[in-house]
Each structure stands twice: as structure tokens, then as C-alpha cells.
Amino acid sequence: FITQVNVEGGDEVYKGTVVAQVADPDKFEADILVSEMDIFQVKMRGEATVQIDAMSSLSLPATVTHISPTATITSGVVNYTVKVELESLEALTQEWQQARQEAMQDIASGELPEHLKQAIEEGQITQEQAEEMMKQMQQWEGGQQGQVLTALPEDFQLREGLTVTVSVIVDERSDVLLVPNGAIISQGGQSYVQVVSPDEVTEERLIQTGISNWQYTEVTEGLTEGEKVVVPQGTAVTTSATQRPPRGMIPGMGGHP
């Protein structure tokens, strides 16, 4: 659709004059600023997520399409402009509908999907666990993202100028041990946590860390699943392993599609 007209009827138009601006309603980009400390972790065609501030439940996948070679310096702070392109809502909806249809076909057949059969053969899950997964699939709605997409009005459309929060994913892990970032104490280039023993005695312990995001940090050595660590305000939390891949993310500084 046309977003701007720069001439009127009867105007004389010269070579190179921009007569009008046309926007593709299914294609949006967001520009963000990434600090000099993080810019080398950002890669072209890298994965990102874009959260619409006005709709906090809606998070859209995006791809890094441009990394500025020149810096933007403000008050001595060095940042680089990174552009990400959002995947269209129409494409996301089609992908979700296809995934749901395939899931329903597996359920209707009464047989376990091939990936579950393989998991049983490899000893990753039991037959009972696979059957429980099939029961859960019967109530499957595509997760939070699927629920959000189906709840959107048919005429819903992203608009230029919306404020968004962009996270660029630079790494990810699976089956790792996580602790809250607030539990980690940094001293002399090393990381420690306060571990609470079963008899409520607290000891400081050296740990080795991996990737982190805004909330959690991966612990590669020094802790075992189930141990309790102290976080600010004296609260103890239990460490836990996760099968969902924690992602190392670089938050973008603002952005508008």
C-alpha cells in the first residue's frame, strides 16, 4: 500500500524524483543498536526474536539481515546498528496450521509417530511415556504461540512505528544445569555460588559457567541437579536441569518495525 505521496497533480517531475513510497504489509524490519562488547557475536542470517511491546504475548521469529560496519557513538558509547527482518504473520499461521494438522493425523491413526518409536528403540523414553505424550497431543494447541496466533483478529496487521524488543540468539544448549543469574558471585575473574547443605549450612563454592541469557546461567562444573543455592534476599532455590535449550541472547536497544 502507498504510505506517502510526494507530488500533486500537475507537478513537473524530474529524473530521480521520489514520487511515492510503497510499503509491503507482509514485510517488516526492525533496527536495533548492539554494543561493541556484543557485536562480534552477531552473525548474518542469525536467529532473533521480536516481541511487540503492545502485545507482550506475541513473539515473532526474525533473521539478521544487516550488520552496520560503522559505529554510532553517543556520549562516548559505541554501538552498531543491526537490522532484523520479521517473519510474516501469514507464514507463521500457515506453519502452525500445518504442524497441527500433522499432529492430528498422527493421533487419528492410533499409531505412535516415527520419532517416538525411534526414541523408544534408543532407550530415551519408555512405551508408557510415549503413550502419555500422545494423550497430551490430543489437547495440543500449538503452545502459547499457537494460541496467540489463533486469537488474533483476521484483519490484524503489524504497523510501522510499533515499539519492539529484539533479542538476537547467539548460542544455545540442551540438557544443561541452570541457576538464576542473581545467585552467581563474581570475584577475581571466577564465579561462585552459595550452596545450602541439607542441614542448612551455607558454603561458597567455585563453579564453571557456560552461556547465559537475561535470567539464567548454565553451570558446567561445581554443582549437581537438586542442590540449593542462595539468591539475593537470602532465598534458596533448587538447581534444575532443563531439556529446553537455554539460549544465549543479546538484547537489542530499542527498535521500531
Strand partners, 190: 187
Give the span between the Cα atoms of 139 and 105, in whole angstroms.
14
In the chain, where are the structural domains located?
Answer: 90-151, 173-245
What angle (nearest 5°) sits at the alpha carbon of residue 59, between those of residues 56 and 64?
130
Regarding pTM above 0.85, the answer is no
Give the span between the Cα atoms of 130 and 206, in whole angstroms.
39
CA distances from 7 to 1, 12, 22, 24, 74 (A): 17, 9, 14, 21, 36
Give the span between the Cα atoms of 213 and 191, in whole angstroms.
16
**Nearest to residue 193, comparing CAs of 174, 202, 206?**
206
**Nearest to residue 165, comparing CAs of 73, 76, 64, 32?**
32
Give the E-state strand segments of 24-97 in sequence order.
29-35, 47-52, 59-74, 77-86
Give the span between the Cα atoms of 39 and 77, in whole angstroms.
13
Angle, to 10 degrees, between the axis of helix 127-138 and the axis of helix 114-121?
A: 160
173-245 CATH fold: 2.40.420
Give the span between the Cα atoms of 54 and 43, in whole angstroms.
28
257 residues of the chain, pLDDT tens digit each: 787 899 998 899 999 899 998 877 778 899 999 999 999 999 999 999 888 888 776 778 899 999 999 999 999 999 999 999 998 877 777 776 676 676 667 666 767 777 778 878 877 778 887 777 766 655 545 555 555 566 566 677 788 888 998 989 888 887 889 888 889 999 999 999 999 988 889 999 999 999 887 778 999 999 998 898 998 765 555 655 554 444 555 555 455 55
